[in-house]
Amino acid sequence: MKEKKLRNFITRNNSCCNKTNNNDLFTGINRVCSGIVFLLLFTAASSLYTQEISLEYIFQDTNIVNPRPPLKYINSQSSKIYYYGDDDYDGMLSLFDYNYNTGETFRYSDTGETASEFILMPSGDAVTILKGDVYITKNFATSRLYTADIRLTETDEYEYSPLAISNFVVYRRAGNYFLRRYSDTAAASKELTLINDESDSLSFQIMDMTDKYKGNPNTLLRLFIVKYDNSTKREILVPDYTDRFVTAETIRKGISRVTMYEYEVRSAGKDSLYSIIHEFAYPDSMRYSTSYAEYSPTGTSLILDAESMDRHNRKIFKYDIASRKVSEIYSESDSAWFEKHSNHTSFINDDEIIFESEIGGYNNLYRVKINGSGFQQVAGGNFTILESAVDTKNGKVYFSANAEHPYEYFIYESDLSGSYTKRLTYEEGDVSELRLSPDGSRLFYSQSYFTKPNELHMLDIQSGISTQVTNTTSPKFANVEWNIPEVITVTNEEDGATIYGLLYKPQNYDPKKKYPLICFVHGSGYLQNVTKGFSPYRDNFMVNTYLTQSDFIVLDLDFRGSMGYGKEHRDKTYRNLGYWEVSDYISGVNYLAGLGLIDKEKVGIYGGSYGGFTTLMAMFTHPEVFKAGVALRAVANWKNYYYSNWWYTLARFGDPDTEGVNEYYEKSSPYTYAQNLQGHLLLTHGMLDDNVFFQDMVQLTQKLIDNKKDFDVMIYPEEGHGFHRQTSWLDQYKRITGWFEKYLK
């Protein structure tokens, strides 16, 4: 579902690799982390005081896991990075810059003139939004002041979402796009309207732009713009019962009609611009969604990475600017569906691109010429490459991958011919958000561990030294002795697949005792939660410490379909959601029982969104195993979810309106099996949920009533799919933990 797919980004809400010898496969030496002394001191200081954990402490008004520092810009002109950080631990982000040559950190003042948005240009100037108007701020990288040097707009409405290239600035106003050119001292052109018909039915997206290829002496700029016609989408009501009278927000859900344009911006004299619009389409009749688009370095062609709406077919096209013709250069198909990771399709040079693919069973990197020849693997193996950064100047690619173990991600280096692979980082945990400095000398990334939320790090590529840049973890989190889980493997009893999991034992574990077991099921379906990095399910990680204090064992599996284990791990769930996920948990229960750790008569299960769906499937299809469960914001009927999120369900089942696929929807829907409930079930749902609609809760509740089942329901009138109020989180988890205390002890 929409529970974040980006791993290690702090939000609330397949078979195992067979490795060759690591010493044969990878080269490189271990490097000394320059931040290690600081980390040891920080750890020692934190251990002096340990906070007792409670649900009230976890869900206090100010989140104890404060916002993590995101990197915004890297500027070579000033040798600085710009990031947002919460060093006051109050949930509010401030802007910082860090000089990666000197190590100096500077915090920007929260007083005085502050831009609501800004873009740092390579020159050190910035495009800024000040009091709702667009300005050019000169020498921002040096002055660190939001000066209003060149004013580009002066309107009664607010401008926002600026884009910039060379001396052109694109911005939005009331949903539409506008363009201005500027000189070193003043606005140099009148405002050009690019889009003026944005509405509830029409929306637009600028996917890329270039100022390299002219084609015509008057051509200054080219933009690739996509139009989405939403008029065919269904209007769905989300009622709100919390005010004096019932209101209902109308949202549109469904598949848009897409049209692609190239805008050619030309000069019409000293201060006037106009645009020529070229509409183009893919050369076959299949409907595609364009994932990535990029102009070539010289702007002579546009690459388009597209997949069919059901995500069974993927093609890469080239749009030739001069001839305005689209040609196919690469294609692949999948009997199940494609999943995108975080490696953008991009140009290596004018004639060649690099892209990700699971064609070999795992997500790896490949290259191909734009005439369709020269297909070649750049990096990979029987492991997942999650993110990459390409250094075209020096012919290298850096990537994060779980090459040693599925649950650990490190950074590696390869050349673009794939002749070697070298491991570059050694910090235990997880890495994400790779960003390369323009000169290729530094690699910035986010690093985390079980008990250490993400912080920004910098790798000096020449020396191999890694430095921790930020230290913004709240003492409220650091002062708790969190329960660090064991990484375990479970063999599925039906097909022999290896499933990875996290096992949380009570801190005062007694090997002579058999404990009640709680199975936690992560959301999204396609998400990896079993890593040594900081969990994307931060609340559940913290609650696990509370549960183990209460003498529960907690099992968290990367069940079938989870990311990080290759295509086979995912494909088995195609048109059969819920079966193998529950099978993996049953094998986990039996494995722990075989070790003498748990009481098999006291097994519970819970999760949210896809985790809630799996909880329902477990409770309804295997009541002999799962005696208590809590399903949060759960999908109960996949047909309902098709109309909420076609992108998710069309790939997994097909179109229920046009294809004979109803049996797959029914087979995979908990609603079909609700009459089999025997255990103790609690359902929770936010009434304003616009992802998994409250409708699922209502329909399932009625079916359980009709079948005379005993169960409980808790609704949250002012909450959506992810809760916003700390009181709601606290109430929900008090009910979850209380439910298991009541029925598993």
> Percent of the chain beyond pLDDT 90?
89
pLDDT at 28: 34
Q: Structure tokens of 186?
A: 């003043």
Round to whole Å and give the CA distance between 531 and 52: 26
Q: What does DSSP say about strands 680-686 and 628-632: parallel, antiparallel, or unpaired?
A: parallel
> Which residue has 């016609």 as its token pair?
229
Q: Which CATH class is domain 19-69+341-482?
A: mainly beta
Per residue in 383-409, pLDDT (tens digit) is 999 999 999 999 999 999 999 999 999
Query: What is the band of 726 on the pLDDT scale with cuts at 50, 70, 90?
Result: very high
Residue 335 and residue 571 in contact, taking contact as beta carbons nearer than 8 Å: yes
Round to whole Å and give the CA distance between 409 and 608: 26
In this prediction, residues 412-441 reach a mean pLDDT of 96
Burial code of 12-51, b = ≥16 C-beta within 10 A, e = fewer? bbbbbbeeeeeeeebeeeebebebeeeeeebeeebeeeee
Q: Is 512 exposed, middle or buried (0-12, 13-18, 19+ CB in 10 A)?
A: exposed
Round to whole Å and give the CA distance between 202 and 186: 34
Is 80 exceeded by the pLDDT of residue 238? yes
In this prediction, residues 156-165 reach a mean pLDDT of 97
Round to whole Å and give the CA distance between 266 and 490: 63
| Secondary structure (DSSP) of 596-613 | T-EEEEEEEEEEETHHHH
In this prediction, residues 595-624 reach a mean pLDDT of 98
Least confident piece of the model among 111-120, 143-152, 341-350, 494-503: 111-120
pLDDT at 35: 37
Round to whole Å and give the CA distance between 557 and 234: 36
Among the four given CATH numbers 3.40.50.2300, 1.25.40.420, 3.40.50.1820, 3.40.50.10860, the one describing domain 483-744: 3.40.50.1820
Q: What are φ and ψ of residue 587, in 5° steps?
A: -65, -35
Residue 715 and residue 680 in contact, taking contact as beta carbons nearer than 8 Å: no
Q: Which residues contact 694 (CB under 8 A, 6 or more apart)?
A: 238, 685, 686, 687, 688, 715
pLDDT at 673: 98
Q: What does DSSP say about strands 515-521 and 598-608: parallel, antiparallel, or unpaired?
A: parallel
Question: How many residues in total does the chain contain?
Answer: 745
> Which residue has 């939004």 as its token pair?
129
Burial code of 340-370, b = ≥16 C-beta within 10 A, e = fewer? bbbbbbbbbeeebbbbbbbbebbbbbbbbbb
First to last CA, the chain: 32
pLDDT at 734: 98
| Averaged pLDDT of the chain | 92
pLDDT at 269: 81
In this prediction, residues 608-631 reach a mean pLDDT of 98
Round to whole Å and give the CA distance between 68 and 70: 6
In this prediction, residues 480-492 reach a mean pLDDT of 97
The answer to whether the 19-69+341-482 and 483-744 domains have the same CATH topology is no
Is 70 exceeded by the pLDDT of residue 1? no
pLDDT at 111: 66
Residue 163 and residue 171 in contact, taking contact as beta carbons nearer than 8 Å: yes
> Which residue has 């713009």 as its token pair?
225
Round to whole Å and give the CA distance between 421 and 25: 7
In this prediction, residues 170-174 reach a mean pLDDT of 97
Residue 497 and residue 579 in contact, taking contact as beta carbons nearer than 8 Å: no
pTM, full prediction? 0.91
In this prediction, residues 584-606 reach a mean pLDDT of 98
Q: Which residues contact 323 (CB under 8 A, 6 or more apart)?
A: none
The domain limits of the chain are: 19-69+341-482, 289-337, 483-744
Round to whole Å and give the CA distance between 269 and 273: 8
DSSP-based three-state secondary structure for 354: strand
Is 60 exceeded by the pLDDT of residue 228? yes
Q: What does DSSP say about strands 126-130 and 498-504: parallel, antiparallel, or unpaired?
A: unpaired
Least confident piece of the model among 8-22, 106-120, 305-319: 8-22
Per residue in 256-307, pLDDT (tens digit) is 999 999 999 999 888 899 999 999 999 998 999 999 999 999 999 999 999 9
Q: What is the amino acid identity at position 128?
A: T
Closest Cα to residue 237, out of 723, 594, 686, 644? 644
In this prediction, residues 215-226 reach a mean pLDDT of 95
Beta strands in 352-401 (DSSP E): 352-357, 364-369, 376-379, 385-391, 396-401
> Which residue has 């947002």 as its token pair?
84
Query: What is the band of 580 on the pLDDT scale with cuts at 50, 70, 90?
Result: very high
Is 60 exceeded by the pLDDT of residue 201? yes
